[in-house]
Structure 1
């Protein structure tokens, strides 16, 4: 199993929301291929409530890090409004091939599905697609390989947005077997981590701010890019 103790991955808890550190490789919902999913573990996170919590937003199977769970229907509705309205601030860490020379910038490229098949989640850049905006900042670089460590902020929330935008700029995310150069099997795993989440849930309080620690499968690459000089 990928997860032995889901409670050990709990980063934040209050009456409305839980935030967990989802491990890479664990899909949130069941798929046609079967196998372990996050849903199988959610009963352990009831903490006295009659229903298990549910994911309030998407996080790809191969992406690790902060995932918000609504603890009941009203909480899910409130969280859903935050994410749909772009008021939930998300920051991802990514290790990319090559990477930009500049310190920071943004990618504004519209996205559309590659296929008309509704079961397909693969995306492509397309001027006629849905507007998509990603802001990025370079945090470090590996002097030996040239790989870069980026902080990515998706202003919009399109499917696979960060992966497609990075690939379109010529610096695909390491370990990306769909949009990058990684092998389909036996690769290092997608080097993308949902590092931080800020949720303005309460009118008279600061946003709920949560950070997920650097994941094990990215540690070597992050350290090569200078993680030792920054908090993990």
Structure 2
């Protein structure tokens, strides 16, 4: 359960929400959430101390706030403990490469929700045919790691941070939830094309809502850069795991 907010978010400076979660081998660990920035602050090594049940709890909290407006990360991120600038770097795990922002004084690290999902193995990298399938329907999206636009018709990775394009892996989510949280799940989609269809449907609904509002801006063309990333959309496709 969340406790009283304490330290500022490294990006937007709003108060972080502290959640007390079970740690491995007993005890507890406090994880700081910023749902406005879709980010997590881990004190030194806390990301490795989370118990399997805690990982599932973090995943559920991310799911519950999947539709919250996302504030772009600030150009300069500051440690909530010492307020010094965070140093951007990369970590590599079996499921992909992801961005991290670390305090040089070892106070901790800031991770986006998408980076957390890659770190914990909830995702898989897309194959080139899958990227081509999505590109035929969508055109361009935003990188899940850094937010830069990615033209799927020309690129198979983010040209800005070189992060590979990834999707949430329904089978990995199912295994994690069954093993850690005893929550049975079923794959929510069968192919990358299903995710592309979900993006198109999302943009059509957004366009419909805009047209219903007087003075609303025109919707982006099909080939434009859409304000979504693949991980957030695939997370939304898993909504029925808890909503049904």
TM range (shorter): 0.3 to 0.5
Q: Which has the higher helix share?
A: 2
Q: Which has the higher strand share?
A: 1
Q: Structure 2 length as normaliser, TM-score?
A: 0.32
Q: Structure 1 length as normaliser, TM-score?
A: 0.33
- The higher-RCO structure (CA 8 Å, 6+ apart) is 1
